[in-house]
Structure 1
Amino acid sequence: MDAFIPPVSLEESRIFQKIDRQLYAILVLDLWRNPLECLQVMGLWLWFERIGFSNAICKILSQPSFLINDLADEAIACLKCMESAQFPLQFEATEIPLTQNILQNNVSLKFFHLHRHTAYPEIQTLIMEVYVPVLSDIMEKACCSGSVQTVTGGQNSMQGHAASSANPMMVAQSSYDGPSMRSFSNINTQVSTPPPQSHVTHANEPALYERTMFATFSKGYPVSESEIRQFFSRVYGNCVESVHMQEVRADEQALYARVVFHRPAFIESVLNGMNKAKFSINGKHVWMRKFVPNTSKP
């Protein structure tokens, strides 16, 4: 007779998934991201581990909050590619350098599109069987905090925010009714303004952040601080105050940097009305966006 194996309790499951819970909490409580969307993101990251990219979640959790936020943005791009029957044209020139760095693999967005028929159902199964039970309390906390607006419009409104606060699991399950991610098309991912922070902010910090941009580089194409300075000096003159490269070992490549300009006006020129700008510095691609610090914690 087979030995009796007692069922694993919910509390034991939450202890076992401690790292995953910490990462989800950062996404929805610290970074104010949509809890439903973050379930999909977490499902994708867990799927990475299931197909052989070991310790992906631990590696993501070890990153600074602003990089975790960017990794989540890249994950959403991957998921959208899985959803589409045809590869979205807007992703033709899009790269996922931070995800490539975590996975130590030059995986592209087309990889996710090509594997959508097997990958997407597996991700939904992982979400429902693993994450919905163990993350429900964190999701409820995020919904009840009022930091996220839930599904709106039509019969999917769940009777407004009161319903989502009373039963966030109903909101979570509503997004998996269909075989694709189109259920997310009506989700408002905008968040309310964070409450005032209790800590004291130095007078020069806002000015510094207003003058700072975040740059990411493609893996295998290292960009140096001097190349960044020379490029922008040629284009905009004496505009760069400082460049802070990612700290890596001598044999590793920096994949991101913070570039501080003398005046915020230079950032407006760099972006030229866009949220993100792409440059070629000595034949190597560099993506630039305005630096957004994590202000949810002191």
Structure 2
Amino acid sequence: MDPPLSFTIPQEDFLLIHQMDRDLYKILVTDLSRDPSESMRLLAMWLWLEKVGFHNVVKNIMSLPIILINEIADESMTCLTCLTNNYNTSVFSMSSSEANDIPLLQSLIENEISLKFFLHNRVEAIQGVEKTRREVCMRAFGDIMQQAMMRNLAERMVENNNFLFGSAGPMNLQFGSVGIAAEMVQQQSNNNGRRGRIIPADERTLFVTFSKGYRVEEWEVREYFTMAYGDCIEALFMQETQPNEQPLFARIVFHMVSTIDMILRGASKVKFSINRKHVWVRKFVPKRTKTDRNILLGETSDFGFGATR
């Protein structure tokens, strides 16, 4: 049997061909601190989708702000879970009016795609993703993967050492600052029994995504939740876009975390219809980097958000 065509290409040329794929892999494992092996499977799935007719998947993902790349990765992991867990297609039996269950990924692709696509093509998808991972991704990202795994191992060793023995180094200062902040909050609570723990904005935030082709305005989002839950919104951050472009996501900070509990009702993701346009909401869980755990929420302008209060 002849070797795969990819192995006949010199390594230097092969890496050049996959430069954009390598850049995306670096974002996943470095900027977003995602698991290197898991991230390689994600790239394998995206490249396989391109091979079977879904064009420019990687290029379109690379055009997104980093916070949305993380959301795309989470959605794509749901697709891989469907394949590896052998979900029964009856679990996903839907009416014709049911909204897409992977809306962000769908928004990047012209062809129709949903979890049903992966379930109906399960055998082909499993074989295709694994073949792409083995023959393309291992060769294209192997060096980056090794560096990321070594870095993660070194950081865990430092963290464990600091936990057991203490240190005056930067890592200990980082965790020490968290302890100091918690102590200050506890002291404030003890000084005034009527006041509980200060709830960070992150824990009072929902991440909202919209269907491509169905533009949802900021006033529509604000009006919908205000009419349903009263004066509940502390801040609303819509994705900044050009005048002729549609926002694909937003972030809503509520005054009270209990509002989020009422909205989600124990579910991880909930679909709403705002003026007959589908909207998905989920708890906002930022993935902070190990070098600066506040980078993703430090400056909203870095991620294309405009703020209104």
Aligned residues of 1:66 and 1:292 also touching (Cα < 8 A): no
**Residue segments in structure 2 that go unaligned for 5+ positions in a row:** 1-6, 158-170, 182-198, 296-309
Aligned with residue 105 of structure 1, among 92, 107, 111: 111
Higher helix share: 2
Instruction: Give, in whole Å, the separation in 2 of the partners of 1:195 and 1:107.
Output: 46
1:247/1:106 CA distance change after superposition, 3 Å: farther
State the Cα deviation string for residues 15-72 of structure 1 (Å, max 9, x = none).
3312111111221222222222222211111122223333221211221222111111
- The 1:241–1:44 alpha-carbon spacing in structure 2 relative to 1, beyond 3 Å, is same
Contact 2:212–2:248 (Cα < 8 Å) also in 1: yes
Report Cα offsets for 1:199-237 as digits up to 9, x if no partner.
x9xx9xx94433332101223433221221111112211
Kindly state the Cα deviation for residue 122 of structure 1 after the two structures are TM-superposed: 1.9
Per the alignment, do residues 80 and 293 of structure 1 end up closer, same or farther by CA in structure 2, a change over 3 Å counting? Answer: closer
For residues 82 and 45 of structure 1, the distance between their equivalents in structure 2, rounded to whole angstroms, comes to 14
Secondary structure of the 1:13 match is: helix
- Determine the structure 1 residue equivalent to 2:32: 31
Which of 134, 137, 144 is equivalent to 1:128?
134
Match of 1:214 among 207, 212, 235: 207
Aligned length: 246
The DSSP-based 3-state class of the residue aligned with 1:146 is helix
CA distance in 2, matches of 1:139, 1:242: 38
Compute the displacement of 1:98 (Å). Answer: 0.8
**Contact preservation (8 Å) 1:56, 1:103:** yes
Aligned to 1:27, what secondary structure does the other structure show?
helix
Shift of 1:283: 3.4
Corresponding residue for residue 288 of structure 2: 295
Give ranges in structure 1 of 5+ residues lacking alignment.
1-5, 149-160, 163-193
1:152-194 deviation per Cα after TM superposition (whole angstroms, max 9, x unaligned)? xxxxxxxxx99xxxxxxxxxxxxxxxxxxxxxxxxxxxxxxx9
Counterpart pick for 1:86 among 69, 85, 88: 88
Distance 2:240 2:121 in 1: 34
The aligned residue for residue 59 of structure 2 is 58
Compared CA separation, residues 88 and 10, structure 1 to 2 (3 A): farther
How far residue 294 of structure 1 moved from its aligned partner, in angstroms, is 4.3
Tell me the residue number matched to 2:194.
none
Letter in 2 for 1:234: M
- The question of whether the paired residues in 1 share the 8 Å contact of 2:92 and 2:116 is answered with no
Using the size of structure 2 for normalisation, the TM-score is 0.68
Residue matched to 2:272: 279
Q: Provide the C-alpha distance between the structure 1 equivalents of 2:11 and 2:287, rounded to a whole number of angstroms.
A: 32
Distance 1:36 1:196 in 2: 30
Aligned residue number for residue 231 of structure 2: 238
- Looking at structure 2, the residues matched to 196 and 132 of structure 1 have their Cα atoms a distance apart, in angstroms, of 37
Q: Percent identity at matched positions? A: 41
Work out whether residues 42 and 76 of structure 2, in 8 Å CA contact, stay in contact via their aligned partners in 1: yes
CA distance, structure 2, for counterparts of residue 247 and residue 134 of structure 1:
34
Between the aligned partners of 1:251 and 1:75, the Cα distance in structure 2 is 28
If you compute each CA radius of gyration, which structure gives the higher value, 1 or 2?
2
Q: How does 1:96-175 map to 2 (within 5 A)?
A: 96-146=102-152
